[in-house]
């Protein structure tokens, strides 16, 4: 993965924050996630946690994007990569660096034409950069692998219904298309 790249979000994309967005470095976080994943009803892991109630976020936030892709990889791939470590690295190292031309726009997508159930997602092209001081080749390679997989599997909420289709754009191609 180069130190800068772009992603074109081809269909509306939205990410879900976890019920409790907690700091992964919190001493209670591991215990909390193990209990929550086993289906046990859990209280807040600590007093500093922010309750998010599964909030939907129609923005290209790198931490949410890479956590989502890492979860998909862990669920379906037999190849063992440090995807959770890469997701944690991406939270601090990868940042949104710009929006070419029209940038992104929000789109309301209805579940069915006759119902009033809908979701708001975003579409468009987003440029990302990796902070020089945090660039680690191991994690950058894993992030590139995750992005290539995401082109096939889609990302975010309702990806199996066709939302969250992306196209990874390498720096040279991205400069020619803007």
d(CA 126, CA 149): 18
Q: Does 55 or 59 have the greater pLDDT score?
A: 59
How many other CB atoms are found less than 10 A from the CB of residue 95? Answer: 16
Q: How far apart are the first and last CA of the chain?
A: 20
Residue corresponding to tokens 């031309």: 101
Task: Give Cα separations from 120 to 12, 27, 69, 159 (angstroms).
Answer: 8, 35, 20, 14
Radius of gyration of the chain (CA): 17
Q: What's residue 47's pLDDT?
A: 65
Element (H, E) at 72: helix 62-76
Between 17 and 177, whose confidence is greater? 17
For 60-141, where are the E strands, in sequence order?
Answer: 94-98, 104-110, 118-130
Three-state SS at 136: coil
pTM of the model: 0.79
Cβ burial of 85 (10 Å; 0-12, 13-18, 19+) is middle
In this structure, the chain runs to a length of 178
Angle formed by the axes of helices 83-93 and 62-76, nearest 10°: 170
Locate tokens 């990410």: which residue?
15
Residue ranges of the domains in the chain? 4-16+55-177, 18-54
4-16+55-177 under CATH 3.30.200.100, yes or no: no
Cα separation of 149 and 83, whole Å?
12
117: its two tokens: 């159930």
Strand partners of residue 110 = 118
Q: Summarize pLDDT for 165-177 with one digit per residue, the tens.
A: 999 998 774 444 5
Give the pLDDT confidence of 90-143 residue by residue, as tens digits: 989 999 998 988 889 999 998 887 888 888 999 999 999 999 999 999 999 999
């Amino acid at each position: 993965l180069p130190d800068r790249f772009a992603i074109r979000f081809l269909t509306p994309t939205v990410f879900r924050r976890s019920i409790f967005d907690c700091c992964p470095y919190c001493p209670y976080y591991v215990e909390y996630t193990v209990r929550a994943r086993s289906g046990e009803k859990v209280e807040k892991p600590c007093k500093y946690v922010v309750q998010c109630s599964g909030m939907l976020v129609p923005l290209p936030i790198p931490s949410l994007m890479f956590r989502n892709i890492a979860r998909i990889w862990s669920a379906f791939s037999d190849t063992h990569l440090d995807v959770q470590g890469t997701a944690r690295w991406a939270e601090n190292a990868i940042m949104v660096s710009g929006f070419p031309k029209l940038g992104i726009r929000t789109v309301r997508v209805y579940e069915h034409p006759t119902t009033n159930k809908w979701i708001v997602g975003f579409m468009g092209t987003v440029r990302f950069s990796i902070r020089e001081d945090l660039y680690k080749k191991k994690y950058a390679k894993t992030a590139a692998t995750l992005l290539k997989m995401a082109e096939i599997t889609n990302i975010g909420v309702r990806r199996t219904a066709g939302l969250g289709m992306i196209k990874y754009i390498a720096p040279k191609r991205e400069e020619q298309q803007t």
